[in-house]
Amino acid sequence: MLESPYKKKIWTFSGMLYDHKKLFNMIPDLLGAYVGENSIGPQVTESIMLTLNSVNKCFYCDGLHGELARLSGLNGYQILRVAKSEQECLNVMDHPAVSFARFFALNDGFGKAFDIEYTNLIKSEGESKSKSILALCLFLHWRSLGGNTINALINRLFGKPKENSSYFFETLFFVYYIILFLIIIVFTSFLRILPKVPKFINLLFGVTLTFVASIWIIPIGIISYLFSSKHSILSAD
């Protein structure tokens, strides 16, 4: 597999709290991305996820959403896993949500330029659908940075510590989240044995993942209201 030109992003403590707060607020919109009148559809959803992860480069997200994309019947999903440009992504799924996902990943989901891009998405897709798309981006952003933070501790134990990353924070994060990421590994292994599935099964997978992840997201989301900073602060390899 080709190497991404982008560096793996991980959290600092303040960035983690801020991003959990954002995602906590958007859990209803995240569910709405899978079911209801503002749902996006499995192929577009997985295009969003893989496009964003082609920048953030999380091992766990790549495996999970690669399989979900395959099950949705998305042609060219393997290209999205290693895409190095917006055009490569659009060649697979020509949709404004894909361009937005790429921009989101490159700008970490905040900033004046990002606000302008989100305003343009609203003009194209409408406010309600745009909230669904934003929630999907936040969901993958949360999981990819979480996976990379988990791996930062593992790499540290093998003598490759992350520069400017806290061993204490990595350890706390690992203890809190390792069960969820083990569930993701097991679920991904299960998906590998399945053939292409009907659309409603893909949507069921998305709803299930949202509910399971919310068990971990909600407590930190509540705590984040006391401690979060104004913007996400990230580290990169």
What is the extent of the structural domain holding 94? 9-236
Whether 147 maps to a domain, the answer reads yes
Is 3 within the bounds of a domain? no
**pLDDT averaged over the chain?**
92
| pTM, two decimal places | 0.93
3-state secondary structure of 85: coil
Q: What's the domain count of the chain?
A: 1
- Segment 37-51 mean pLDDT: 97
pLDDT of 83-121, one tens digit each? 999 999 999 999 999 999 999 999 988 888 999 999 999
Query: For the chain, what percent of residues have pLDDT higher than 90?
Result: 84
For 149-183, write each residue's pLDDT tens digit: 999 999 999 999 988 889 999 999 999 999 999 99
Please report whether residue 4 resides in a domain: no
Would 143 be classed as within a structural domain?
A: yes
Residue type, 58: C
Label residue 233 exposed, middle or buried (CB < 10 Å: 0-12, 13-18, 19+).
middle
Residue 186's φ and ψ, nearest 5 degrees, are -65, -45
Q: Tokens representing 202?
A: 């893909």
Tell whether 1 is covered by a domain: no
